Amino acid sequence: MATESTSFSLRDIAGSRFPLLEYAPDATVIVDGGGIIRLVNSQTERLFGYYREELIGHAVEMLIPERHRARHAGERTEYAADPHVRPMGVGLELFGLRKDGREFPVEISLSPIVTREGTFVASAIRDVTERKAFERRLQELNAELESANRAKDQFLASMSHELRTPLNAILGFTGTLLMKLPGPLNAEQERQLQIVRSSAAHLLSLINDIMDLAKIESGKREVTFEPVAIADVVAAVRDSLGSLAAEKGLRFSSDVAGDLAAVTDRRALHQILLNLINNAIKYTESGSVHVGARPVNSGGAPRIAIDVTDTGIGIRTVDLQRLFAAFEQLDPTTTRRFEGTGLGLYLSRSLTELIGGELTVQSTHGAGSTFTLTLPHTHEAL
C-alpha cells in the first residue's frame, strides 16, 4: 500500500497539519499493524474516560469488553491483510468499554492510513447509546400500537357478537308471533309487533353500518374486484326498497343498460346504492326516485356514472359541504322526522373511496337532489 506519494508521517497526522482529527466529533483511534494504539484524539479521551497517555502504546483491546477481545484480535489480523474503508462488524452489536468498566453501544468505521512508517488503521468510533435508546423506544411504541390495534379489533368483534345475540331473540320471537305460530293476533297486536320488528331491524342495520365503518377505518374491509353488471345490482336494490317507495306513493324507476358493467366490489356497490336510494326515498314526500347509469368517456380512463335522482326536500348550498360527514343530519329538526344516525352518506363515501370511485351531489333546495356515483370502468384504473 505504501507508495511514493506517501509524504506524511504519523507525527504529521497528530500535529497541526490535521486539526480536523483532533476536533472530530467521533473518537478516532489509530492502531498499528500489531494492534497497538498509536494515536487518539480528544473525543476518545472523553468517550472512554482515559487520558491519552494511558492509551498510547497499549493494545486496542483495552477499549473492548473482555468477552469480545479474542474475536477482535482475529478480525484485526484479517483486516490488516486486506485493509479498505468499511464499517466494522456489520450486523453485529458493537460495544466500547470505559475506564470505569461501563459498556456502551458503538458504531465504528475503519480506514487504512498509509504513512512513511507503514500502514495504520484508523477507527472512527461513535457512541450510539442515545440512538439505541430511541430505537428501543420506537420498537416499544410500535408494539404498544399493535397491541392497541389488536385490542380494538377484538373489542369490535366481541361488540358485534354481543349486540347481535339479544337481537336474535328480539327479531326471532317477534317473527314467531307475526307468523302466528303461538296463535292468532288481533289487528292492533300485529301492527305493534311490526313496529317492534322494523325497529329491531333498523337497530341491526345501524350495528352493521358501524361495524363496516370500523372495518374500513382499520383497513380490514376486504374488497373483491370482479365484473359486475350495474343493472343486476340496481335490480337487487329495487327488490329491497321497492315496497318502501310504494308505501310512500313514490314513483320508483330505473334505466340501466343491460350490458353496462364495471370491475368492482359487488357488495360495496350494493351497499352504496342501497344507502343512496334509501335516502332518496326517505327525503322525498311526493314525486319520484329515478336511478340511471351512463358511461363517461370524457378524458382519462373510461368511467361509469350512476345517478340517483329524487324530487325530495333537497339540500341548501351551505349544507353541501358537511353532507358527507359522520353523524350529520342537516337540519336538527328533521331528526325527528327522518330516523337515522347520519352514518349512511359517510359510510357510502368511505366505501366509494375503497373501490376507487367518486361520490358527488347536485341539489336545489326544495326541488330535489341527484347523487352521482362515478366508478372506474376497470380495476386497473385504480
Partner 1 sequence: MARILVIDDNPANLDLMLYLLRAFGHDAVGASNGVAGYEALRDGEYSLVLTDILMPGMDGYEIARRMKADARLVSTPLVAVTALAMAGDRARIDAAGFADYISKPIEPTTFVAQIERHLLPRTQT
Binding site for partner 1 (CB under 8 A): 156-157, 160-162, 164-173, 175-176, 179, 181, 200, 204, 211, 215, 220, 222
Q: Closest CB to partner 1 among 186 and 224? A: 224
Q: Closest CB to partner 1 among 139 and 154? A: 154
Q: Closest CB to partner 1 among 182 and 300? A: 182
Q: Closest CB to partner 1 among 174 and 352? A: 174
* Contact present, 8 and 17 (Cβ < 8 Å): yes
Q: Closest CB to partner 1 among 34 and 175? A: 175
Secondary structure (DSSP) of 105-161: EEEEEEEEEEETTEEEEEEEEEE-HHHHHHHHHHHHHHHHHHHHHHHHHHHHHHHHH
Tell me the closest approach of the beta carbon of residue 168 to partner 1, in angstroms: 4
Tell me the closest approach of the beta carbon of residue 121 to partner 1, in angstroms: 57
Tell me the closest approach of the beta carbon of residue 67 to partner 1, in angstroms: 47
DSSP label of 46: H
Tell me the closest approach of the beta carbon of residue 234 to partner 1, in angstroms: 24
Secondary structure (DSSP) of 312-342: SS---GGGSGGGGSTT--SSTTHHHHS-S-S
Q: Closest CB to partner 1 among 33 and 172? A: 172
SS3 sequence of 189-250: HHHHHHHHHHHHHHHHHHHHHHHHHHHHHCCCCCCCEEEEEHHHHHHHHHHHHHHHHHHCCC
Tell me the closest approach of the beta carbon of residue 181 to partner 1, in angstroms: 5
Tell me the closest approach of the beta carbon of residue 145 to partner 1, in angstroms: 21
* Backbone angles phi and psi of 96, in degrees to 5: -105, 160
Tell me the closest approach of the beta carbon of residue 166 to partner 1, in angstroms: 7
Secondary structure (DSSP) of 236-289: HHHHHHHHHHHHTT-EEEEE--TT-EEEEEHHHHHHHHHHHHHHHHHT-SSSEE
Residue for cell digits 474516560?
A: 49
Tell me the closest approach of the beta carbon of residue 167 to partner 1, in angstroms: 5
DSSP label of 26: S
Q: Closest CB to partner 1 among 200 and 355? A: 200
Q: Which residues pair with 305 in a beta bridge?
A: 294, 374
Tell me the closest approach of the beta carbon of residue 182 to partner 1, in angstroms: 8
Q: How open is the CA angle 319-324-325, to the nearest 5 degrees?
A: 95
Residue for cell digits 476518545?
A: 44
Q: Closest CB to partner 1 among 26 and 212? A: 212
> Kind and range of the H or E element at 344?
helix 344-354
Q: Closest CB to partner 1 among 166 and 366? A: 166
